[in-house]
Structure 1
């Protein structure tokens, strides 16, 4: 059950957070999507995502602190007025608690469900939605069928994203974010991994192989999003499936295209990734590169598709 704080105090905290975030971020509009870059952010590992802040997303800064909520006595009518004046479409920031990365989701609105927000984060944060747990201020886990308005989410507010810890998923995601192959090798991404969890003891051989394949895919998805070439190469060599899909139907190539990870895109293509794979919204990796104006990546995909057509000559080096 979702836990709610004291009405007046929680309302003032949310109003204060909205006022603090109202002028903090300006983002460019992306045609055909709701994902935007965080212009103030840098990147943990991999190549930097561009200084202008319009073309690349999501940004991944090193966050060392938490935004503090303010609490004081005040007029509840003023709080209600602040919420009433909130824009119909606004920006939300999402903090991945396990890593300190901050992501930006735009085109949010009061009637947006938590499920819909997770669907966006599947792409912009590179975390499959079935592993996401979201919280806001002093509330408990946000239920999928509730709306942002139900939780009094204000424009510019920060939602906390946690990775599901059961079965070691949080540790796996963290290792993939870091691109640490030594950690990944010990976390059940290959058949010979010594890693064991409580649930693994109840699985038959066929189910165990499926369990390993799922973990390898998630690690590949996250590492591709962050642009960790060594980790992507390692996971592909261990049998990770670059044609696997997240719950939103997205492949590692989708998320590599979002963050403009050209080297990872080339590596995934060499291992059979499809530039025409459609996600649940009908969007392909090639579409993403085009919409975000990642011309180098779009050209790379196009040339690769031409060179690998039946009857075409071998890849040029």
Structure 2
């Protein structure tokens, strides 16, 4: 068989896509580019963007009324270049889709897209209230997608209040923004962004609206979406900076309020709140000076209060125990130094007070040690003076000098007992004076010199 007589089995050019016609619900016709090995399911996904009709309610037929199987290719269904495929919808959606394509708003509102307008069908009669509400919102969303594709702003204005969730998507994860971007409808893109639809929403193929605008060759829409994303990013950065500044200012206010809250009331009323005191001091009419001086100005009182210390032992009672004073200082956060030295820090005062007791006891002990040393020297000196008397004259008579000497020894013994010192040597001298017989020793010059 010659080459001319061979049958032409290749009806399509695989290297270059060809066009077929899509008749939408018998009202509109679109031309799309397809290839020989394209599956029906891929065509349906593409028609969701080309017509605005969601994937899940589409039915595709060719030549006869038989529906095309999703897994089959266009070649399997004998679709020829330039052939016409009918895009139909399921019977429960057909009337609504037709009215949406034609833009008949009044009729659409009576077809189950609004909660307030009653609508009944064999399907809704078996739905509970929650399921029916979700079904109504789903129908409104389908009308919105078709309205965006048709660029019918009036229809969108009437339907948008019924679609409360701006994140509602088709089964393929697409929003009305994806449909508008794929068709290069820049005005609808701006309209949807102003209504709150998300710019960066992705479909199940991980594509954003800007990706579809680039894929289908709409540079103007792609440029608009890029600038919108840039503006959104700039606003987000500005918002973050503003939040940081607000957080810093709030932190400063908390620090100031924390300093104010550490004030433990006035010296007269410790339970009084700082806000009350400030209000009193700032209002001349409600607060006429201090309780001791009614004519005193609030400014003077504020100055006094700022340097006032609650440690009474520093100025009024020097007998106050250091422990009490330390306790007062530790609980007083607004302490501004001592009355004698306002610049002195509380830590320094506490340290001084904590060492006051030990210094006082040390000084007393030192004084006692000095007295004991002096008494020891005095007793030893007396012993040295008495010794020659004992040696020269063992018997001493009654005389004025001996009596005064006895009184002196008794006073010295009493002083030793007060300091806890043993006065055994003095006892020996007193016993000696009691046992001897007194005699006049004025004739003895040695005794007179030592005792007198």
In structure 2, relative to structure 1, the CA distance for the partners of 1:99 and 1:193 (3 Å cut) is farther
Q: CA deviation at 1:141?
A: 1.1
Give the TM-score taking structure 1 as reference length.
0.67
CA contact (8 A) 1:90 1:107 kept: yes
Q: Find out whether 1:203 has 2:127 as its counterpart.
A: yes
More helix by share: 2
Superposed counterparts of 1:131-170, under 5 Å: 131-138=57-64, 140-165=66-91, 167=92, 169-170=93-94
**What's 1:61 paired with?**
none
Once the two structures are overlaid, the 10-residue window that deviates more, 98-107 or 261-270, is 98-107
In our comparison, the structure showing a higher alpha carbon Rg is 2
**Contact 1:91/1:104 (CA < 8 Å) preserved in 2?**
no
Moved more, 234-243 or 128-137: 234-243
Give the TM-score of the pair, scaled to structure 2: 0.48
Structure 1 residue 240 displacement after superposition: 5.0
Distance 2:98 2:220 in 1: 29
Residues 152-204 of structure 1, C-alpha deviations (whole Å, 9 max, x = no match): 11122111111211x2x111112221222212211111211222211101111
Distance 1:173 1:241, change over 3 A: farther
C-alpha separation in 2, matches of 1:133 and 1:101: 15
Cross-structure match for 1:86? 12
CA distance in 1, matches of 2:168, 2:9: 42
- Tell me the C-alpha RMSD between the 2 structures: 2.4
Structure of higher RCO (CA pairs closer than 8 Å, 6+ residues apart): 1
* 1:199-253: CA deviation from partner (whole Å, max 9, x where unpaired): 1011111101110111011111111111101111111122354422112211101
Among 22, 25, 37, the residue aligned to 1:98: 25
Asked if structure 2 preserves the Cα contact closer than 8 Å seen for 1:92 and 1:155, the reply is: yes
Aligned residues: 233
* Residue number in structure 1 paired with 2:208: 284
Show CA shifts across 1:70-129 (max 9, x none): xxxxxxxx9x934424212532423334242122222422x3221111111111122111
Q: Which runs of 5+ in 2 are unaligned?
A: 240-452
Q: Map residues 156-195 of structure 1 onto 2, 5 A cutoff.
A: 156-165=82-91, 167=92, 169-195=93-119
- Name the stretch that deviates more: 154-163 or 288-297: 288-297
Which among 246, 249, 256 is matched to residue 180 of structure 2?
256
1:231 paired residue number: 155
Q: Answer yes or no: is the 8 Å Cα contact 1:105–1:120 preserved in 2.
A: no
Structure 1 unaligned regions, length at least 5: 1-77
Distance 1:155 1:213, change over 3 A: same
Deviation larger for 261-270 or 301-310:
301-310
Please tell me whether the aligned partners of residues 189 and 238 of structure 1 are also in contact (alpha carbons under 8 angstroms).
yes
With over 3 angstroms needed to count, the CA separation of the structure-2 counterparts of 1:212 and 1:278, relative to structure 1, is: same
